[in-house]
Homo-oligomer: A and B are copies of this chain.
Amino acid sequence: MNRLAVELPGLKMKNPIMPASGCFGMGKEFGELYDLNQLGALITKAITLEPRFGNPTPRVAETPQGMLNAIGLQNKGLDTVCAEELSYYESFDVPLLANIAGSTKEEYEIVAQILSKQSVVSALELNISCPNVKEGGITFGTDSDIVFDLVQSVKKVSTVPVYVKLSPNVTDIVEIAKAAEAGGADGLTLINTLLGMRMNLKTRKPLLANGTGGLSGPAVLPVALRCVYQVAHATSLPIIGIGGISTVDDVLEFLMAGASAVQIGTANFVDPYVCPIIIDQLETRMDELNISSLEQLTKEARS
């Protein structure tokens, strides 16, 4: 028996570690650094219907144990991604989560419909929580009626399981999670970035060209854990935990809070090998903490 294996809708993972969308490009750069077959699952950068340039630079800024980004969903658009980028993932024997975004419900529907037909795509992750675009993005993710409606619509046209990625920038994340559950979501990913800002001391204006940006990295870990814990105790959907993970202990904290698997984002920028390193350390740490299996750990946390 594989003590590290976890199974989520559409994602049969040999371990609970996958990269986070937007922090792993379209996989190729990491594929040159290590064998991606080591990972529990793979993920795409957000895909939108049309190509997007994204925001002007500066797009990134440093913060204490964290960073801000305002990339603004730069991507080549659905057609080019399908034609040029998805085939890369076929060489790996690992499930693939396709992260999708849009400015309108119709856009989400089209992208979901087409991507879910691609044989390499195991499941979709609806990004309704991007704080860096003027239309759609986070505004979809902060109103429970819109979330319910959007998830229901996307579910109708999708042939693979649908995960909904939630924003922590809300008064009550449980309410939003329940709306996604009611809409038919197969799982939840939480959290996306917190809305933040830095000022440029010389210009006295916001440092990012976009003004605000999304905060990620270790700084947000306690907020992410709280969101996972709250939602794990209020819904029965499987949860992919994310936010600030950079060590094997962080991973275990998320599973103890109720997550079934985790994503690692910003930590890849500090150490590109962080995912395989953590995977490598998992079993030893489980032994030290008397954890028999990870699926069992999540089950206990949610019982």
Contact = CB atoms under 8 A, between A and B. Distances in A.
A221 B63 CA distance: 8
Nearest to A214: B222
A31 B87 CA distance: 67
A201 B249 contact: yes
A171 interface: yes
A206 B229 CA distance: 9
Contact of A64 (B206, B229, B244, B252): B244
Interface residues on A, range: 35 or more
Interface in A47-70: 63-66, 68
Contacts of A205: 256
A264 interface: no
Interface stretch (A18-26, A97-105, A191-199): A191-199
Indicate the member of A211, A220, A301 with the most B CB atoms within 10 Å: A220
A242 to B, nearest CB: 15
Interface in A288-303: 289, 297, 300-301
Nearest to A222: B196
Contacts of A213: 222
- Copies per assembly: 2
Contacts of A300: 204
A202 B288 CA distance: 10
Contacts of A211: 229
A114 interface: no
Interface hub of A199, A206, A257 (most chain B Cβ within 10 A): A199
A142 interface: yes
A97 to B, nearest CB: 25
A289 B202 contact: yes
A219 B64 contact: yes
A105 B251 CA distance: 42
22 contacts: A63-B219, A64-B244, A65-B66, A68-B222, A169-B171, A194-B223, A196-B226, A197-B222, A197-B257, A198-B253, A199-B256, A204-B256, A204-B300, A204-B301, A205-B256, A206-B229, A211-B229, A212-B226, A215-B222, A218-B219, A219-B219, A219-B222
